[in-house]
Every structure is written in structure tokens, then in C-alpha cells.
Structure 1
Amino acid sequence: MGFQTPQYTLDDYLARTVSGAIQLPDFQRGYKWDDERIRQLLVTILRGHPMGVVMLLDTNNDEVRFKPRPVEGVRLDADISPTHLLLDGQQRLTSLTQALTNDGVVETKDSRGKLMSLRYFVNISKALDGEGSMDEAVISVGEDGRIWTNFKRDVELDLSTPDLQREQGYFPLNLLFQPVESQGWILKYAMIDQKLAGRFHAEVLTPAARYSIPAIELDRNTSKSAVATVFEKVNTGGLELNVFELLTATFAGDADYYAEHGTDFRLNDDWRETRAVFESQPVLQEVSSTDFLRAVTLLATRRKHLTDTRTRPTAVSARNEDALRISLSEYLQWRDPLREAFLWAAGFLADRHIFDTRFLPYGTHLIPLAVIKVIVGADADLRGPRSRIVQWFWCGILGELYGGTTDTRFVRDVMLVPDWARAVDGARVPTTVQDAQFVESRLHSLRTRNAAAYKGIYALLLENQARDWMEDKRLDLVQHRELAVDIHHIFPKKWCADHNIDDEHRESIVNKTAISAKTNRSIGARAPSHYLDLIERNAQITTDQVDEVLDSHCINHSLLRNDSFDGFFSDRREKLLGLVESAMQKPAQRDVSQGYFVEGSSQFEEAEVAESADESVDDSIPGAVPDATLVSVNEH
């Protein structure tokens, strides 16, 4: 990658934007500057102050083939290939192109966001009062050249014709870089005030014609990943540009696809089709376009890794910069298998009693789950491979290993889980299964659904044949929605407060379970011994039937009926640990019951615990690569 730093006159930039020599890459967002920012930019030009640099990319580049589009407001008669793409400075050059060329009408908005079509003028006498008066001199008027008042009943200022403009001393700024028209306007104005006309030409128009803007030009050797890095480094607006938007422009410029289909490939339209496929699955509603591309990248780089015969083969990766190297043909190769795999993942989660995004422990977990399904294929539904995938899944959740940086863990799991799941000879146990640990005292600090393990234990309770307390219904997908099931206290908050139960124990998941809205209303703030009698009467069931339901929630009914909170808490904590150990297929660390943890000493936390496992690269796993940062773009 190389670059130059030339300086071009504003007149040159305008000529190139109008002709199409300078265009925008298709991923750039739309024009959005408001009236005041445009006016202040014009003031800056007329004062001769610097307005910053613009960044251009040489389009004579075999690797970077972004689909171009003209600067907004420019109408090209033919499909013109640009010589440069505008990477930074879009808002400024778009504003100047619209305001200073053709009819000077700018499609913008006011401070309240109302859409407006405006033209810009400079008051000649005020512009000559000195630099400090230029701000007051530049004004905007409606497209019709008038400023209206009294709800558009009265005209405050009428600049709708050249004669009216000269009569009131306002120069139309769209003539600033049109020398013939500008000269004709000034000559006629000199008939009104020759002295002001001469001064305005010499002190304002002539300096403006020489106004220049420095550029940074990235040469033809610049890669897509370098473009992404440049965007990140020049970002000052804090507006993120993701990989999907960059690839939208790249795929749209794919010459082979155009030659075969006679049209450009539109990644946005394709993603809308994918979203339509996912629409029936609530748990997939937060899968983003970038998530989908990360899954494609894992599969594409894995295929390259397996077929690469070099000593250091291509690395398997989910990084942004590697996603930018994905070709359109690779994307299309994996798109349909991944669509089916994500749908399979939704069914897999439903089997785990995870029905929607609200109770989904980690959204990122869907990415490797879908990729693993594509790799394992139909074997993913066989009992053996399925049980091992289930173990890996619960280890990631209950070990809370997908809460931090995930790219490296994606690679590890994609490389190791498929062969291990199919019991291939010599297959290694995945690091996620090895790393996962659950400590008994963690149950004390799991208090909100912000934590993945909290949602995981809730799902395990539902999977444990839990039934509604008042209606004879399993808490499966249909009943979970119909009964408005949520996580509620077993010993009510008020009862706990009245009996001096501390926050740690009251709010712990040990004191919560899946309860329908109807049951929760019956519980209210009552003591368990009271509300259980009420549930029996209202539901018209026996004590034994209630006890059976409580057992399905891992609740000791005798301790609950005796309002014995301490005994209940210890007993249920042990039963929940049993669910955790069964899901992870490995023992939990007991630090409470064995006296290593002092109850009441843990800090009350609302936020999810950060990932504890080391996320550094495991060099022993072929193809592992470090994590990457997000890609950002300046929105000038």
C-alpha cells in the first residue's frame, strides 16, 4: 500500500464529481448534512479557511473492486467508471457539489430533521465588511429563491430572479465556479454599484476560485483489508461500518456474476431473503448480517485450510479482515447450507427449551453451532454425535466461555468439535469442554438474566420436565408462550425482607424458577405454606399433586411447606448443581458445602461475569488465529 498527498483546487474536485471521475463506493451511507452545517462549510470556503483533507482510492486495482455510485445530486448520462473512489469527505464534497454547481439546489434538512430544498447566497456588502461578517453574509433560501414568513403568506426576501438578486445585493453561490455566468452577473451588478462589484470580484470571487483542498490518495496496490484499517483509523464520527457493508460493494462489483446473470449481485437483497427464512424462528431474530458472514468466513477459510498444501496453510478465521477476502462464489457456496443450519440450530435450541432471544444465553453461540452442523451434516442428528454437541453447548454456556472475545474460540470449536462429535480416531476433546468449569458459589451470584449461566439453568429446569404449578401442562414451546412463563421468586421478596433473608440468597437463581403468570399472582407476597394451600384450592388438586409439580422444579416440598428457607436453599442448590453436572458431564467445584466459601461474602452483581478462560491463541490447534477489531468509517 502506498499513498500520495496532492492538493487540488475546489474547482477541480467539483468538475470530477460532476463528471463521475470521483464517485462513492456503494457501501458509503447516504448524504445527511443539515442546512447549518452546509452554510458553515460555505462560510469556511469564502473565508479561505482550511476544511480538512479528503481521502481517495485509485480504482485501477485488481483486488479492490467496489461497486461505485455517483455523488448524490449528480446525474450521469452513461455508466461511467470512476478514476477514484471517495473514502473520506463524502458529506463535504456532496454539499459543495450540490450547492456550487448546476442550479445550486441542495436536498437537505433543517435542525428538526424536516426535509428541505435550499439554495445559498452571499450578501455582497456584508461579505466585504471583513472576515468576521462572512458568517452573517451567507444565507439559505427556499428552492424558489424566496424566504417566506407568516406561514408562507408573506415574502420576506425574494431572490427568485437574477434581477431581484442584483437589486438586493445577493450573489448566487452556484455561480461561484461558473466563470462565464459569474462574470455576466457581476457586469450587470456593476451597473447598480460599480465599486462594490469590483471589490467583490477581487476580494471574494477571485480568492474563492483559488481555494484548494489537500487529498490523501491511496494507490492501486491498496488491499481491501488496508481500506478497512484506514476507515478505522480515520474514524472521528463514531459511526461503525461493518464487514457486511464493505462486502455489499465488493460483491456488487463482481464482474463474473454480472457476465453470467446480466445484473449486479445485491447482498442487501440476499440478506433480506435470509431474514425471511429465519422469520418463523423467534430465537433467530437477532442473528445479524455480520453474524452470518462470520459463519461463511469460518467455512470458507476452513475449506482453504484443509486443501492448502503449504507448510503454513491458510488460517481458519472469523476475523473481519478475512471476511473481506471472501469471494462472491464462496459466499454463494455456503449461503444455503448455512440458512438450513441456522434453522436446525433453532430446533436444537428448542430441544434445550430455549425458545426466543430473551432466554438465549449467547447470541454468538449460534455462529459455531450452525457451522458445526454444516460440517457434521446429517450425523448431527444421530444419538452419539448429538449428545456430544449438546455437551459442548452446555459447557460453553454454564462455563460462561462465550461472553468475551469469541473469534479464537469460534476457530477452536469449529476445528475440534466436528471430529470429536463423530468420535473420529485421534480426535481431541474441544477446549471449550476442557475449559468449562462451574463453581458452586456461582449459584449465589446468578441473580439476573444478564448472565448466560442464569438463562442456562432456567432452560435446564424446563428440560427437567418442569410443569406448571396450577395447570396440568409441561412448560414446552407452546405452553411457555400461552402461560406467559417467566422467572419468579419461590420465597417471595416481601417474605424474604420480613424474615431478614439477604439479597444474595433472596435474588439467587436458587430461589427462582419458571412460573406462569397465573401461578405468580397466586403466590403474591405470601409465605410458601400459605400460597401452596391457596394453589391447591384454586387449581382443585391434591397435596400430592402439588408436591409432584414441585419435585419437577427441583424443590423440596416438605421444606417449602415448612417455610424453611435455609434448608430449602441448601437442598435446591445441590439439586441445581446436579443438573449442571449432568449437562456438562463433569463435576462442579463445591466451595460452599465444603466450607471454602463464606455465605454472604460474595458481591452482589447485576452484570454478566466476564469470560474466565484464557482466550489467547492455542498454537497446538491448526489454523488458530488471533482475534480482530471492528471496522469503522468516518461519515464526513
Structure 2
Amino acid sequence: MEYQPYSIRQLLDSVNSGSIRIPAFQRGFVWKMDNVAYLMDSIYKRYPFGSLLFWRTKSKLAIEKKLGHFELPDPREDYPIDYVLDGQQRLTSIFSVFQTELEPTLDNGWLDIYFDLEADENVQESQFLALQDNQVIPEKHFPLNVLFDSVKYREATAQFNNEQIRRLDKLQEKFKEVSVPIQVLKTDNRATVAIVFERINRLGVALDTLQLLSAWTWNENFDLLESFRELKEDLEEFGFSEVGEDSDLILRCAAAILKEEPTPDKLLELNGQQVRAAFPKVRNGILGAIDFMRKQLKIAALKNLPYSALIIPLAVFFAEPDGKEVSYDSKVYDRLTKWFWRSCFTGRYSSQTRKTTIGDIKEVFKLKNGEISELGEFSCNVNEKFFKINQFSFKNANTKTFILLLANNNPKSLLSGSSVDLDRVLQKYNKTEFHHVYPRAYLKDNGFSESSINCLANLCFLSTSENKKIGRKKPSEYLKLMPDGDSLNEILSHSFCPSNTFNDDFQDFLNQRSKLLAIFAKKLIQDSLS
């Protein structure tokens, strides 16, 4: 890293020559005019106003942005290029206030900044104003856009008296003498640039790595942003629009597929051609993972997943180029599903996600290549306690795991006995579709605690309309609203409800239902993975 102070004149000349540029991954100019005026006041009063960070390289990016509302001229071929990594708002403000050579590309609402000659020299109040033409009082407001043009400056000061001119000369002198602190990062390593850009943005708006990667990969026949938009449209058809909106998750899948590590920055180690050629494989991997989750695991939306990162190893498994399908036998299927359920019940993806994902990716590649794989070979024990101590909450990973467990037993509506429309219910995914087997109001009336009332073992798929029919009734009473005989037994079986459900003994019911739930969970995570 090198430190190079620039004068404002040097900044203006560098921008006008095309050597300072804005990379595509930068955001646009968002400052309000008051912010610009306050920056001018800080520069004038010698207050600290922050440094700029440039990335110096000899490689011009395929996609760039304008500097504010100015189209930048092409750089000279023998000059290095300085891309702005930090301080874009300040640089754009300084250039837009003082430049006189370029014309803005559109009517952008920019207001000229003026020095208020009648304002008191106050350490707190700004002496600079952003004014519309009809607000300008020529005898009072002096335009800053003439300070670096000697001819225009002489013309603008002609109407003022000697005392005012001395004050304006001092104003011009301050802006001409100021040094803008510049840090220069000299590298052609794009991964380094990505890391630096991420860290300087971490406390502000999160880094949009997708924008950064799109700059590396673009050509006339491939636009990564457009490819992501098309993938999002495909995912919407499956009910997984949230995945298409989560660019970071997609990039982690892509990095896992192409670099065997779920870190988006690793993609920047590839050249544009490699990313372009591999994108169909990435797309197929993500779509394959979602198809597997929908059909084999009863997952209807990203919000159903206890941990979103579970998509990543599955995307690696299903990633193949166009025209090639992934085939697998029952042993591979068992290993994938057991790995999924064990990961959910143990909460492996709740911490050290990167390390866990890397390990699983490694084993998935082995599984995919027909090698001996230890995917899912970690300790997992689920017993009745899991369903008693965990509280039902949609934000909780254990609740999401519990709901998926219920969904994989083909649940029936508690009163009518009709099959639950899992796609509709799980995509909707709110409390109106889940209610207590032993009604909450009934249990509260009988002095049970909230923790026992809301434990997982007392929840089931139950629509609001059916729940209203149950109301405050105890199970032995609402039993009269249910079918009888084999239909009743089928409802109970598919809802993990024991035969003692209607004995009105809540504690005994929790014990017996928890056992049934644990038996099914153990079937999902069975210990013998071959």
C-alpha cells in the first residue's frame, strides 16, 4: 500500500485524463447536496474528511460506471488506471463541484455549491450552500465552480470590493493548497482487491460480490447479472424465489462447485472464460439440489430449510454440464438423506459453517465419483427430550427440522382427514397452518406453563379454520368432530398422535407422542450408513 497525497487540481486532471475510473462493482452516487456542501465546509476549515483508496492496475475492466453523472474519457494506453475502491462519494463531489471540462450526461438535479460571504466564521455552522439558480444572491453567494479557472475567477470577483476579494482569494488559496489523502493499492491480484473492498465496506453496506464478479466475467455474449436473473426466474417456478434473490448463497454454491470451497472470493481466482464456461454447471447444480429437496425431503421453500447452507453440498452433487444427468443408486440416496437429517438434528451448520461445509463438499465429491465417502458419518442421537424441551418458533432451526419431519410422514388434516397440501402450507409457512393438539386455551385454563404448552410435541399441521372448531375443547370433546374407525387411526398415525391422545392426560400424551416422533427421527438418521 502506498500513500500519495493529491491536490484538487491533480484529482481534476486525473479524472479528465481518464486515469481515475469507477469499477462496475461500485455503487452509484447517492449523496444529497447538503452532504456535498458540508464536505466543502470541512475542506475549507481543514477538518478531517477521510482518505480515498485507489486500486492501481494496468488492466482496464470490461464494465465500468460513470463518475456521478459524468461519462469518463478513455485512458491513455501507457498509463496505469486508478479504480476507486473507497471514497467514491467524496471524489464525485469534489470533481462535480470544481470541474469545468465535462458535460453531465443528463439533467441530474445537481445544484452548484456557493460560499456565503455573509456567513459568520463559525466552527459549527457551514458557510457553504447548495442553491438553485433562483436562490442565488450575486452580492452574497460566490460559486465554487470558478476557483480552478483563472479567467472565470477574475470575472466572478470583479463585482466585489477589495475586502471581499481578499476573503475570496483566501478561499481559493485554501482549496488550491489542500491535500487529499490517497492510499494506492498496487496489485493485479483480483482476489486481494475483493478482500480489501469487502473489509472497507463491512461496516457499511455489505459487499455485493456479484457485482464485483460480473466485472471480471463480462463479455458481449455473457452477462453474469443477466444469468442470475434468468436463474431466479427458473427458481420462482419451483417456489424457491428466495434462493434467486440471495446472490451470496448462489455464489457460495458456485464457489463450492468450481473451487471446492464455499467462499465467493475464491471465484475471483478464475478468469472470466472459466466462469462463463462453468455457469451452466452451476445452474444445473442449484436446480438439481432444489429438485431433490422438494421431491425427496418435502422442502417447498428456502425458509423451510433449517440451515440455508445445506443447499451447497447438494448443489455440488448435482452439478453437471448441460446434457449430462446425475444418476445415483439407493445407497447414495440413503447417504444423502441421512446426511441431511443428521445435519439438521445436530445443528452442525449453526456454527463454523465454512469449515463444516468444506468437509461435506469433500465427501460429496467422493460420493459422486464412486469413492468411499464418510458423508453423514458423525454422531447424532435424537430422543424424546428433543421434542419436549424445544419450543415451537418459526425462527428456530429445531422447529424447522420438526416441521419437515411432520411433512415427511404425509400428514392428514386433523379433523377432515384429507391430505395436507404441503406445497401450499410450507410455502405460506406461518402460524395459521400450525396449532396445538391439546388446545392452548384449554391447557392455560388448567394451569399448564407456556413452555410445556408450546413444546414441539404438542404442535401439528392444523389450519386456522379447524383450530377454531376445536377452540377451548379438550381432546375427548373434539374427538366427536373427527372421523371414526380406520379413518381416525390413519389421521393419528400420520400425525404421530398416540392412542392416548383423547384421554385428556396432557403429560402422558407428551410422553407418548415424543416417543413416536423420536422413533421416526431415528429412522431418518439411522446409524447404519453403507
TM-score clears 0.5: yes
Structure 1 residue 133 displacement after superposition:
7.1
Q: CA deviation at 1:90?
A: 0.5
CA contact 1:106–1:118 (8 Å) conserved in 2: no
Cα 1:531–1:105 shift into 2, 3 Å: farther
1:359 to 298, 304, 307: 304
Partner of 1:169: 140
User: Is the CA contact 1:31–1:72 (under 8 Å) kept in the aligned structure 2?
Assistant: yes
| Ranges in structure 2 where 5+ consecutive residues have no aligned partner | none
> 2:410 and 2:228 mapped to 1: Cα distance?
38
Q: Deviations over 1:596-628 (max 9, x none)?
A: xxxxxxxxxxxxxxxxxxxxxxxxxxxxxxxxx
Change (3 A) 1:137 1:579: same
**2:319 matched to which residue of 1?**
374
> Are the equivalent residues in 1 in contact too, given 2:300–2:423 (CA < 8 A)?
no
The residue that corresponds to 2:461 in the other structure is 514
Q: Partner of 2:390 in structure 1?
A: 446
Partner of 1:196: 164
* Alpha-carbon displacement from aligned partner over 1:94-120 (angstroms, at most 9, x marks no partner): 111112223999999xxxxxx843121
Question: Is the CA contact 1:298–1:318 (under 8 Å) kept in the aligned structure 2?
Answer: yes
Contact 2:147–2:153 at 8 Å: present in 1 too?
Answer: yes
Which residue is equivalent to 1:241? 207
CA separation of 1:449 and 1:76: change in aligned 2, threshold 3 A: closer
Paired residue for 2:10? 12
Q: Alpha-carbon deviation of 1:266? A: 2.7
| In 1, Cα distance between equivalents of 2:126 and 2:363 | 68
Output the CA distance in 2 between the equivalents of 1:472 and 1:360: 27
Per the alignment, residue 178 of structure 1 pairs with 149
Which of 217, 229, 242 pairs up with 1:285?
242
Distance 1:482 1:40, change over 3 A: closer
* 2:282 counterpart letter in structure 1: L
Partner of 1:69: 65
How far apart are residue 78 of structure 1 and its match? 5.2
Quote the residue 1:467 is aligned against: 412
Residue identity matched to 2:68 = E
Determine if contact 1:39/1:138 at 8 Å carries over to the other structure.
yes
Q: Distance in 1 between matches of 2:134 and 2:101?
A: 15
* Number of aligned positions between the proteins: 519
Distance change (3 Å), C-alpha of 1:105 and 1:244: same
Q: Look up the equivalent residue of 1:90 and give its one-letter code.
A: Q
- The residue number in structure 2 matching 1:56 is 54
* Structure 1 counterpart of 2:29: 31
Residues of 2 paired with 1:133 and 1:406: CA distance?
50
**1:341-400 CA deviation, whole Å, 9 max, x = no partner?**
323323322232221233222221112111112269745453332222111111111222
Secondary structure, aligned partner of 2:418: coil
Secondary structure in 2 aligned to 1:286?
helix
Q: Say if 1:236 and 1:453 are closer, same or farther in 2 by CA, change over 3 A.
A: closer
Normalising by structure 2, what TM-score?
0.89
> CA separation of 1:105/1:66 partners in 2, compared to 1, >3 Å: closer, same or farther?
closer
Structure 2 matches for 1:98-113, cutoff 5 A?
98-102=96-100
Change in Cα spacing, 1:233 to 1:349, as seen in structure 2 (3 Å) is closer
Give the letter aligned to residue 496 of structure 2.
C
Describe the shift of the 1:429–1:206 C-alpha distance in structure 2 as closer, same or farther (beyond 3 A): closer
Listed one character per residue, the Cα deviations across residues 534-590 of structure 1 (whole Å, up to 9, x for unaligned) are: x23xxxx33552233112211123x22211112211111111001110000139xxx
Residue equivalent to 2:252:
294
Is contact 1:105-1:118 (8 Å) kept? no
Q: Which of 493, 496, 514 matches 2:443?
A: 496
Q: Structure 1 residue 80: deviation in Å?
A: 6.6
Query: 1:300, 1:326 within 8 Å by CA — same for their partners in 2?
Result: no
User: Which AA in structure 2 matches 1:189?
Assistant: Q
1:393 is the counterpart of 2:337: no
Q: Distance in 2 between matches of 1:266 and 1:418?
A: 29
Are the aligned partners of 1:95 and 1:106 in contact in 2 as well (CA < 8 Å)?
no
Matches within 5 A, 1:298-313: 298-301=256-259
Residue segments in structure 1 that go unaligned for 5+ positions in a row = 109-114, 148-157, 160-164, 253-257, 302-315, 588-636
1:61-100 equivalences in 2 (<5 Å) = 65=61, 67-76=63-72, 83-100=81-98
SS of the residue corresponding to residue 86 of structure 1 reads strand
> Distance between the aligned counterparts of 2:221 and 2:153, measured in 1?
42
Deviation at 1:33, TM superposition (A): 0.9
Say if 1:367 and 1:32 are closer, same or farther in 2 by CA, change over 3 A. Answer: same
Pairwise CA distance, 1:285: 2.2
- Cα drift, residue 29 of structure 1: 0.6
Structure 1 residue 134, shift from structure 2 partner: 8.9
Partner Cα distance (1:125, 1:407) in 2: 60
When the two chains are superposed, the root-mean-square deviation of aligned CA atoms in Å is 3.1
SS at match of 1:338: helix
Q: 1:420 to 1:55 in 2, by over 3 A?
A: closer
- Determine which of 491, 503, 507 is the counterpart of 1:549: 491
Alpha-carbon distance in structure 2 between the residues aligned to 1:236 and 1:381: 42
Q: Report what 2:527 is aligned to.
A: 586
Residue among 487, 499, 502 paired with 1:561: 502
CA deviations over 1:297-316 (Å, ceiling 9, x no partner):
12222xxxxxxxxxxxxxx3
Q: 1:408 to 1:284 in 2, by over 3 A?
A: farther
Structure 2 CA distance for partners of 1:183 and 1:517, relative to 1, 3 Å: same
- Give the whole-Å Cα distance in 2 for the aligned partners of 1:42 and 1:16: 20
Give the distance between the partners of 1:31 and 1:479, measured in 2 at CA.
Answer: 42
Residue identity opposite 1:180 in structure 2: V
Cα distance in 2 between the residues matched to 1:575 and 1:421:
34
Of 230-239 and 504-513, the range deviating more from structure 2: 230-239
Give a deviation string over 1:61-83, Cα, whole Å, max 9, x none.
5xx95743331122345577772
- Structure 2 SS opposite 1:216: strand
What is the distance in 2 between the residues matched to 1:350 and 1:550? 25
Counterpart for residue 112 of structure 2: 119
Are the aligned partners of 2:316 and 2:365 in contact in 1 as well (CA < 8 Å)? no
Shift of 1:233: 4.2
- Counterpart of 2:452 (choices 489, 493, 505) is 505
C-alpha contact 1:99 1:174 (8 A) present in aligned 2? yes
Q: 1:146 aligns with which of 130, 134, 137?
A: 134
Q: Is the 8 Å Cα contact of residues 103 and 174 (structure 1) preserved in structure 2?
A: no
* 1:526 paired residue number: 473
- Does the aligned pair in 2 maintain the 1:384–1:421 contact within 8 Å? no
Equivalent residue of 2:349, what SS? coil
| Cα distance, 1:52 vs structure 2 | 2.3
Q: 1:329-352, CA deviations, whole angstroms, 9 ceiling, x for partnerless residues?
A: 332333223323323323322232
Measured at CA, do residues 387 and 275 of structure 1 come closer, stay the same or move farther in structure 2, by a change above 3 Å? same
**SS of the counterpart of 1:464?**
coil
Distance in structure 1 (CA, Å) of the matches to 2:415 and 2:312: 38
Residue 269 of structure 1: CA displacement? Answer: 1.6
Q: CA deviation at 1:472?
A: 4.2
Which AA in structure 1 matches 2:22? L
What is the alpha-carbon distance in structure 2 between the residues aligned to residue 476 and residue 503 of structure 1?
29
What CA distance in whole angstroms lies between the structure 1 residues aligned with 2:498 and 2:124? 81
C-alpha distance in 2 between matches for 1:134 and 1:490: 65
Q: In the superposition, relative to structure 1, how do residues 504 and 135 fare at CA in structure 2: closer, same or farther (>3 Å)?
A: closer
Q: What is the CA-CA distance between 1:42 and the residue it aligns to?
A: 0.9
1:420 Cα offset (Å) = 4.0
Greater shift, 337-346 or 292-301, is seen at 337-346
